[in-house]
Amino acid sequence: MNENIQLELPKGVVRIIPLLGGKLLIARKISGNVKPGDIVAGLKKIGITEGLLNDSIELLQRENIFEMPVACAFYHDEPPQFKVHFGRQFSEDDYLRMVNGEEIPFIKQDLQVLANQKLVSIVKPFRTVLRYPDGHIAEKAVLQEAYDLRIFNGANVRSKNNVILSQIEGSAFVSKWGKVYVFPILTVRGLGEIHGKLDDQYGVHVLEDIHSYSNLELPSSVFVTGMIHSSFIKVKGYVQALEGIDNSKKIENSRIIAGKSVLTPHIKRYRITAGEDVLVNEIITQSLIISHRNVVARIVDESEIRVQNKLIADEIRAGSQVYLGPSFLKNQTYNHWVVANQKAEKQLNRKEYALEELKDRFEREKQVLIQYFTRLKESGQKNILMDATMMRLYDQLKESFNALQKQTDEYETLMKNYLTIGIIMAYYARENRMTEDPQIRVYGKIAKGVMISSSGKSVKLTKSLENVTIRLDRASGELRIISHNNKDVAAVPV
């Protein structure tokens, strides 16, 4: 950010002024009253999300304070940039083909790896970066020996030099946290209620259907050649069903929660949460879809879609609701990491105080011992070892020394734990940082009555539209419609 920006808040106006080349941002009150929450929301809208100075922002609501720093750049450790040597990345062209009804490829083969296969290699190492309040970074230095690549070892993999290799043959995936997993694949004809809860350490390939009331909780992926019927499925990897996902029996517990993407031709009456994409080349009907990245579907019918980045469709029918942007998505795993990070820092600080106390004790005892030793020497005592007080002081000092060593080792463990959590969170933040405004792209028709909600606004379309993009302008919070039928039509606010 290099230019002043005027922020219109609900009850006042502030000007955001960048100083020191955008490293420090200050807010100057122009008029009205400002509330800290409004300022933070306003800053986030214009993309100022890093290094917020909440204590300073808080003071801006006071009448006798007119300006305050609101965000400042800071250094942090940046995780490595990986090149993934397996799997399949879907491009915008692939999305377009799905919207046109083209079949989605079976990704089981793409994720299949052999033992000792190179899965991931480092393109850029761990490094120090300067993070500006608007999120962009300036790379500063390579971090030598600060971290071990094994941080990103999920399961059944090993690190060697700058690569992560598989230890077994199986199905692999890289989680949103950068961890690489390989699990063996169990191939079964079908699954049903009779099999009970499946929660073993493998992935599953079902040759026919997953029948109603099945319960799967797996650390890997699920590939189904047939259909998924009214079941509860929770996996860390992908879910792909080649013939569809259907809850015709309307069983309330039917739900799919996938850490990665969900791919299928159609979804009916299901609740689906995906860490990445939901890709459907036919229809989503009467379902609730929550996607932390993109939703691609040929037709969306009477469904609720909560999507962070993009909803791409050929047709959105009446009765559908779209919630656009990250504010409608809860990320419990991320919240767990935040709590773990705070806990780790607290433990580290506590250990530091304990160490300081021990250091003081050790120094005191050391002084006493040295003084006594000098006195004994001066008095001409020949066999110092035989002196009982000397031995007592020595034992005391030895005890403090051992305690100090133990606490030092514990500090190292806690510090490594804290830094590891931090680097994993930094990986997640980097991979999930939004580079574009959230949007809905409809190639065909979006029906009258479709409800679209963004963080600040909800609108119901009063007429149907064709070939449009509905974009959430994060800076202003406005929803804008861009028609692609007539190139001259400018973006109009809804």
Q: State the residues that interact with another protein by CB under 8 A.
A: 17, 19-20, 23-24, 26, 53, 55-56, 59, 62, 64-69, 72-77, 128, 130, 146, 348, 352, 355, 359, 362, 366, 369, 384-385, 390, 394, 397-398, 401, 404-405, 408, 411-412, 415, 418-419, 422
Smallest distance from the beta carbon of 38 to another protein, in angstroms? Answer: 19
Q: Measured from the CB of residue 440, what is the shortest distance to another protein in angstroms? A: 39
- CA 211 from chain centre, in angstroms, equals 32
Q: Quick check: 244 and 231 in contact, CB under 8 A?
A: no
Please name the residue that has the structure tokens 């909803």: 311
Min dist. Cβ of residue 50 to another protein (A): 12
Nearer to another protein, 95 or 132 (CB): 132
Tokens representing 189 are: 């004809």
User: The tokens of 42 are what?
Assistant: 């306003």
3-state secondary structure of 352: helix
Smallest CA-to-CA distance from 224 within 259, 268, 271, 190 is with 190
Q: Residue 323: name the closest of 481, 140, 455 by CA.
A: 455
Residue 207 or 384 with smaller CB distance to another protein: 384
Which residue, 162 or 413, has its beta carbon nearer to another protein? 413
Task: With CA atoms as reference, report the closest residue to 161 among 218, 213, 189, 121.
Answer: 121
Q: Give the Cα separation of 51 and 135 in Å (integer).
A: 9
DSSP 8-state symbol, 491: P
CB of 353 to another protein, least distance (A): 12
* Closer by beta carbon to another protein, 51 or else 438: 51
Look at the alpha carbons of 396, 400, 405, 410 in this order and tell me if their dihedral is positive or negative: positive
User: ∠331-335-337 over CA atoms, to 5°?
Assistant: 120
Tokens of 362: 């050790």
Residue 19 Cβ vs another protein, minimum distance, rounded to whole Å: 5
What is the rounded distance in angstroms from the CA atom of residue 418 to the CA atom of residue 351?
A: 12
Q: How far is the CB of 70 from another protein (least distance, A)?
A: 9
Q: Are 254 and 270 in contact (CB under 8 A)?
A: yes
Shortest distance (Å) from residue 397 CB to another protein = 8
Between 199 and 395, whose beta carbon lies closer to another protein?
A: 395
Residue placing its CB nearer to another protein in the complex, 4 or 335: 4
**Distance separating alpha carbons of residues 183 and 237, to the nearest angstrom:** 10
Q: How far is the CB of 407 from another protein (least distance, A)?
A: 9
200, burial (CB in 10 Å: exposed 0-12, middle 13-18, buried 19+):
middle
- Count, residues in the chain: 494
Q: How far is the CB of 369 from another protein (least distance, A)?
A: 8
- Identify the CA nearest to 142 among candidates 162, 126, 123: 126
Pick between residue 26 and residue 241 the one whose CB is nearest to another protein.
Answer: 26
Least CB distance from residue 77 to another protein, whole Å?
5
Nearer to another protein among residue 385 and residue 490 (C-beta): 385
Looking at the Cβ atoms of 223 and 418, the one nearer to another protein is: 418
Assess contact for 454 and 494: CB atoms under 8 A. Answer: no
* Tokens 């060697």, located at residue: 160
Q: 5 or 168: whose CB is closer to another protein? A: 5
CB of 69 to another protein, least distance (A): 4
Element (H, E) at 235: strand 232-235
Cα separations in angstroms, 388 against 42, 131, 376, 377, 383: 72, 60, 12, 15, 11
If you search the block for the tokens 């700058």, which residue do you land on? 162
Query: How far is the C-alpha of 436 from the C-alpha of 459, rounded, in Å?
Result: 21
With respect to another protein, which residue has the nearer C-beta, 199 or 357? Answer: 357
Residue closer to another protein by CB (options 318, 404) is: 404
Closest CA to 270 of 236, 244, 297: 244
Least Cβ distance, residue 441 to another protein (angstroms): 40
